[in-house]
Structure 1
Amino acid sequence: MKLKNTFFKITTIVVVVSAFFSCNDDFNTVGSEVIGDINFKDDQYAAIPKAYSKRFERVRSNNLVKQVSGNQVSYHANMLGVYDDPVYGQSTYSILSQVQLQQLNPNFGTNAVLDSVVFSMPYLSRATGTTQVQIDANTTETATTYSLDSVYGNQPIKLSLYKSNYFLRDFDPATDERQVYFSDDINTNFAAEVEKTLLYTNDSFVPSAKEVVLRVETASGDNTTTTRSRLTPRLRFKFSEEIKTLFKTLFLDKQGSSELSNANNFRNYFRGIYVKAEPEVGGGGNLVYLNMRDAQIALHYSFDVTNTSNSTTTRDQGELVLNFSNTVINSIETNIDNNDIVNGLKEENQDTINGEETLYLKGGDGAYAIVDLFGGNITNETGEEENELTFLKRQDWLVNEANLTFYIDQNKVTTGGDTEPERIYIFNAETGEPLIDYVIDGSINSEQPSLSGVNHLSPISRDSDKNGEFYKIQVTQHVINVLNGDTENVKLGVSVSQNVNYITVVDNTPTIKIDNEIIPTSSIVSHEGTVLYGNGADVPESKRLKLDIIYTAAK
């Protein structure tokens, strides 16, 4: 008999079960659980999955796209800064990006002078209100107040910008496929080439939620006109006179050259910008999520304009914009300073047969758990040892619900609250695809990710002190499909997630140790971590990883 999902009405279940026992029975319904001489009971079975951790020495980190609204790309996910995880220690995120001329083969005009070079990097922010600001006795302006999204920590870090001399290829010459870059490439493989020329340093960088006010004075004869504009919160500054001279040499002096004539020539000529984050001694740091493709470097210049009618010459102004585009790489460097975690994550220490007592989940270049729902043997009703999946397939059960419960090890996660990931995500570890329960979850809501997928992927459950207790994942339809033989009992991956709407994956190949490893991109762009209980004699029985199957069976 095929197991049926009790999303169907109870009357449908009754008919199916009754038909199995006898097509010729006379049916008499007594209450809701008795049909003819057949009684039904609801019961629960606790399966014991096997699980262990998988650590990544590095992850693919170029061009990570964050999809947060249906099928539309909302922004590219880049992380910049330093984050101190209370469990896993400090992670440092830097960015290396190509830049592209907004206008190829630019003409700067006659007697061009470079007036300023400005860097601008907007944060993710949202307006929270407005207020009136008095500019002078006769003028008021409407100012906007903002709240920054996706900023973690408020301690200063060192931020430096470099002109990179490392050429980033678009294609891998060995395969003719798009070039893949990894989280450790900048520190391990690119070395000093990315720090060729220092352009700017801020020794106490902290993102500010204040809007940026621009004030520009324009002289015309004896009159000076002042214009003001307001920008969303961002890191914005003018480069020094020394760096301005460098940009004059690189751009204005190259007017008409082949280097500025097309995109490929320019990418080889001006190879990129490296934005390097470094922790301050004893500081907790700050981490900001942003879309680096919104950043730009603007060259503001002036030039002669001649009026042919009266042969007079005036000065006009122009702008050349360098956009951060094409290849953008996130460097991720995590220094786990807890020896127990370091040893617990070693590949040789993972019991892939019997499972581990502790499961480590960490975003970035971290780790996730591998779970085998029915990989072990049990003692069956006759006292014999039998494969658990074989045993379950023999049962005439109607599966009503199946839930995986992962309990948080509060002995290891001693600082909870906002430092704990709100959600975890489960997927097919062989293909990266979500489970069928994700696909049929009617609560998937692309407009409100925090409320999305709560039937399948329940948010963290917290105690009275707001510390995490457990995560519950509903896998009802997946379990039904496995027991029916419609789906293989493949190993599942469980990772942290910043946004459960974001279900794309990246192929982590080639790597040093692991080939063809599938990692959810939502895990790579997550910074938080947690520690969960697996199974074993030292795990409190009430906290052990379990798969609860609630079913209806004939008495």
Structure 2
Amino acid sequence: MNKFALAKKLLLLVSIVLFASCDKDFNTIGSDIVGQDYFDLEKDSLEVFTNNFLTGPVQTNNLSVNSLGTYVDPKFGRTTSHFVTQGELQNISSIDIKNNPVADSAWVYVPFYYDSDKASDSDGDGIRKFELDSIYGDEGTTDLAQQKFKLKVYENGYFLENYNPENTFGVNRHFSDEKNKIEASMLGADGNGNSVLQGPYLNNSSEASENEAFFFDAKERVIYKTNGAGGYLNADGDVIDDSNIDDRVVKERFPPGIWLNLNAKYFTEKILKAPKDMLSSQNAFKGYFKGLYFQVEALSGNQGALAMLDFSKGYIRVNYKMDSSNTDNDNNPATPIPRVRRFIQIKLGGNSVNFFDTNHALPTNSNRIGLKGGAGSVAHFDLFDLSRVDDNGVPTDLRELREEVAAKNWMINEANLVFYVDKAEMVNSKFVEPNRIYVYDAKNKRPVVDYFTDGSTNSSNPKLSKMGFGGIIEKDAAGHGVKYKIRITDHMKNLIFKDSTNYTLGVSVTENINVSTNAYRKPAPGEQANEIVPLGSVLSPLGTILYKGNIPQPAPNTPGNSPEAMDYKRRLKLEIYYTKPKLD
């Protein structure tokens, strides 16, 4: 997908719950599924009872993909994402630091998602421009360079611990609202490269595009061969004029990504002059250098963009020179000791946390549900009216449906949940709509059975796997979302034919349908500490507004094109297709 347009307390459930009786409208729509002479196919639409709520802060440590940046969606407000990560030394055994090491350059690089088949060099300078993926912003502005924000990089001063004995399996949890822990101890650097608490940021390039006016640049990064003193070389090894780009020799090409030049003096002091035992193991190094913090700040107005990134593919490189020997080999103090060039590389690995600043609220229209990723919102819903249950706690509507299906010898061919998009709201937003939503068992914190029974995969685009289970957006000719449909056939068969328990279901946006695990919600005072939200929702920065279920039927003689009639028509419904014996 090429997408530019890709709260300190947990809020208690904000419920929008209305109850209505089970509505059945039978319409014969075919008779050729299981023997034309014996069966009719009929459709049954059942009401669904919905409950929308904010997730509050969510667990965001060690995600497979993280967001960075800021943008404003007029329907969901501003989302700003920051990121902190530990660092891990690459090739510890080959680290070679001798006398008088001095860094002459240092930079951090994190690649974007991009389409390698769509690269061009329109201006002929030898630097290709790619089509980027998973970068989100105002679709009305196609120029990435116009969507700027402040990006500052600091040394992390807060140790990201793995272990917490109070949590399940001892795994530590970090939440999306905890950036204050990081910012209270973050370190910058003074003019001599010394670490200073909350001092000047490390990405101190004179280029504003690397700090005060950062943007996601679609161009690749090219490093040319030099003579070691800054002069560019041609193919014959001769120093050439700086402006003669065509004759330069390419040393390395980097696909488009975050590229920030860092304070070289800081890395001389912090890394090259570190005690040797601090560079002897990963554990020692993580305790000494606690990683980097990427802090985002919005500029004026609504400009900005947000990217999904795999920081584990990023790294810091420190290029330095040092004496080739610890001794004066010719015993002549006037002869300078030769200097050699080396580099040390630090992976952006280990523990990490994504932080979200949001001001998201639920839709003001009580007939809508808002689904928003990150620290956003999800919805829970019941397929049957829980205000009417029998002595065994079984909803009356479910019991009657079981009895009717058994008495009439019906078979279930298909059952779908159909969620209609509020097009009026989403079309005006100018922002990217989620490609997919996800239905899950909210009670047992796991996918519904239909998720497991659909083994379909898509090797070219894994996010389109499980096509049968569905949840993929259906769009109109203008490219605007119309509806999402999710198959729960096996779930309904279990409810009707196997007397399975009628558990509350949930629905959320998802960044990746292949992710079926959960993240914890940060508990509010008095709330249990094991409430969850689907991890796929946490990974997504996107949101959508859908029609809820159980919307009251309009009064008789209400015009069919009235808002009340249209709301009722587009309400969330469970559609079941049966085959039943013909009576004639």
TM-score by length of 1: 0.79
Contact preservation (8 Å) 1:130, 1:142: no
Distance in 2 of aligned mates of 1:233 and 1:116: 20
- Secondary structure at the residue paired with 1:413? helix
Paired residue for 1:291? 310
CA distance 1:269–1:550, shift in 2 (3 Å): same
1:113–1:307 distance in 2 versus 1, CA, 3 Å? closer
Per-residue deviation, residues 282-336 of structure 1 (Å, max 9, x unmatched)? 0331111111112222111112225999859532211111211111110011113
1:288–1:190 CA distance, 2 compared to 1 (3 A): same
Conserved 8 A contact 1:133-1:143: no
CA contact (8 A) 1:125 1:146 kept: yes
CA contact (8 A) 1:97 1:273 kept: yes
**Are 1:360 and 2:370 matched, yes or no?**
yes
- Aligned partners of 2:326 and 2:122: how far apart in 1? 41
Q: Give the number of the structure whose residues are more often strand, by fraction.
A: 1
- Aligned twin of 1:352: none
Distance 2:297 2:215 in 1: 12
Which letter does structure 1 place at the counterpart of 2:484?
Y
Q: For residue 528 of structure 1, what is the amino acid of its counterpart?
A: L
For the 8 Å contact 2:57–2:522, the answer to whether it is kept is no
Match of 1:185 among 171, 178, 184: 178
* Residue of 83, 91, 96 corresponding to 2:71: 83
Q: 1:328 aligns with which of 352, 356, 380?
A: 352
**1:369 alignment counterpart:** 379
Q: Which residue of 154, 158, 171 maps to 1:166?
A: 158
Q: 1:372 to 1:260 in 2, by over 3 A?
A: same
**Cα 1:408/1:479, change in 2 over 3 Å:** same
Of residues 428, 431, 437, the one that matches 1:415 is 428
SS of alignment partner, residue 482 of structure 2: strand
Alignment-mate amino acid for residue 258 of structure 2: L
> Aligned partners of 1:254, 1:438: CA distance in 2, in Å?
51
Are the counterparts in 2 of residues 128 and 144 from structure 1 also a CA contact under 8 Å? no
User: Is 1:547 the counterpart of 2:574 in the alignment?
Assistant: yes
- SS of the residue 1:551 aligns to: strand
Question: For structure 2, which runs of at least 5 residues remain unmatched after alignment?
Answer: 1-30, 138-143, 188-197, 205-210, 240-247, 555-563
SS in 2 for 1:415: helix
Aligned residues: 484
Partners in 2 of 1:129 and 1:415 — Cα distance? Answer: 29
CA contact (8 A) 2:547 2:572 kept: yes
The whole-number CA distance in structure 1 between the counterparts of 2:478 and 2:122 is 42
* Residue aligning to 1:281: 300
Letter in 2 for 1:542: K
Question: Deviation of residue 126 (structure 1)?
Answer: 2.6
| Shift, 1:426, TM fit | 0.8
Which ranges of structure 1 fall in alignment gaps of 5 or more residues?
Answer: 1-9, 15-30, 35-39, 66-76, 136-140, 345-355, 380-384
Pair 1:263–1:307, CA change in 2 (3 A): closer
What displacement does 1:490 show? 1.2
Does the Cα contact within 8 Å between 2:433 and 2:542 map onto a contact in 1? yes
SS of equivalent residue, structure 2 residue 273: helix
Q: Could you give the per-residue CA deviations for residues 63-96 of structure 1, whole angstroms, max 9, x where no partner exists? A: 112xxxxxxxxxxx01100122231111000101
Q: Are 1:210 and 2:230 an aligned pair?
A: no
Partners of 1:61 and 1:330 within 8 A in 2: yes
Question: Contact 2:155/2:292 (CA < 8 Å) preserved in 1?
Answer: yes
One-letter amino acid of the counterpart of residue 551, structure 2: G
CA distance in 2, matches of 1:204, 1:468: 33
1:52-451 correspondence to structure 2 within 5 Å: 52-65=51-64, 77-104=65-92, 106-128=95-117, 144-153=128-137, 154=144, 155-175=147-167, 177-187=170-180, 189-194=181-186, 196-197=198-199, 198-200=201-203, 202-218=211-227, 227-228=249-250, 229-239=252-262, 243-256=263-276, 258-305=277-324, 311=330, 313-336=337-360, 341=363, 357-376=367-386, 387-395=396-404, 396=406, 397-415=410-428, 419-441=432-454, 443-449=456-462, 451=464
Q: Counterpart amino acid of 1:328?
A: S
Q: Say if 1:533 and 1:543, in contact at 8 Å, map to a contact too.
A: yes
Shift of 1:357: 3.0
Secondary structure, in 3 states, of the residue corresponding to 1:120?
Answer: strand
